[in-house]
Amino acid sequence: MRYHDNDVHVGDERDNVLAMLTSFRQHQHHGHRSPHKPLLMLLALGRLATTDSSAVPWSVAEHALADLIAEFGQPSKAGRAQSAAYSFTRLRSDDVWVLDADVPMDSVRPLSEGSVVGSLPSPLEAALRANPALIMDAARMLVTSNFPDTVAPDVLEAVGLDPHAVLSVEVTLDESRHIPARRRDSGWRSEVLQAWDRQCAFCGYDGQLLGASIGLDAAHVRWWAFDGPNTLDNGLALCTLHHKLFDIGILGLDPDLRILVSAAFNARTPAGRSIYGLHQQQLSPRPGTPTPALTHVEWHKREVFKGRPLPGN
């Protein structure tokens, strides 16, 4: 969908903007994550909210975008700058990004030599600037369709947006353009916690307050945003710390359901270094509890886990 000046109308500009940004869903081919472009869009929205301009000079993107991709995406063999250049140049094909110079796709040198600046198209930026709530709407839609709840606030803070302001917004689209959202199963969390004896599958934490589990989550192995089902074979009971580390890719599982710790993780204090002790520990579910399905474990290892695991013991 192209965004031209005559697309902006008082009554439907909000739906035009949000409908355009839902097109990022198409980059999730066959469950593969491609967070580079959404991260660049979120960076531009953050700059628009804080500086009144969505402009992102390559001199900024080369480092800021590369940091975002390294933390919230997957490591790239091509290198940090090349990974940033990929989204900085290719987002043009989605009609929501323009560069102030005609440079080749994916090339770092022309971006640096030409001091290239990227930004949202003028009509799109004008629509967002005229209605600041639209920035929050767009950011919420982008972050929740590309990241789980444990990671989304960190992404927003990293791009300069207030997580509370963004995530408290309810986003809806015109019914003619809206793709119906999948319904979450309100009973799934309770079923997962019960199946794992109301304790963290990784460390055994089982804290309660007046009989209710505290600090214990039902974690999707394959993320809900990437078609992960609300089934017991896609769920783990994890304490909030290990849920966060699992969703950011520091912790993972191998096909034999042993815990993996990423070699990219490091810690100095005894509390932090206790994470190393989880490496190659075997999951011990309650008898009869469905263990994570191999297809979900492989998805997480491929799409979320950071790099290589620590060497074996």
For the chain, report the end-to-end CA distance as a whole number of angstroms: 52
Distance CA(23)–CA(62), nearest Å, equals 25
Q: What is the largest CA-CA distance in the chain?
A: 63
Distance CA(89)–CA(222), nearest Å, equals 30
Tell me the residue type at 258: R
Q: What SS3 state is found at 116?
A: coil
Q: Which residues of 194-224 are buried (b: 16+ CB within 10 A; e: fewer)?
A: ebbebbbbbbebbeeeeeebeebbbbbbbbb
Which pLDDT score is estimated for 4? 46
CA angle 184, 225, 86 (to 5 degrees): 170
pLDDT in tens, 223-277: 998 999 999 999 999 999 999 999 999 999 999 999 999 999 999 999 999 999 9
Distance CA(263)–CA(272), nearest Å, equals 14
The domain locations on the chain are 5-167, 188-303
Q: What is the pLDDT along the chain (313 residues), one digit of tens a residue?
A: 444 444 444 446 778 788 776 665 445 556 678 889 999 999 999 999 999 999 999 999 999 999 999 999 877 777 889 999 999 999 988 888 999 999 999 999 999 999 999 999 998 999 899 889 999 999 999 999 899 999 999 999 999 999 999 998 665 554 334 444 556 666 899 999 999 999 999 999 999 999 899 999 999 999 998 999 999 999 999 999 999 999 999 999 999 999 999 999 999 999 999 999 999 999 999 999 999 999 999 999 999 999 999 997 5
Distance CA(50)–CA(45), nearest Å, equals 9
Distance CA(29)–CA(219), nearest Å, equals 23
Q: Provide the whole-model pTM.
A: 0.86
Distance CA(125)–CA(29), nearest Å, equals 28
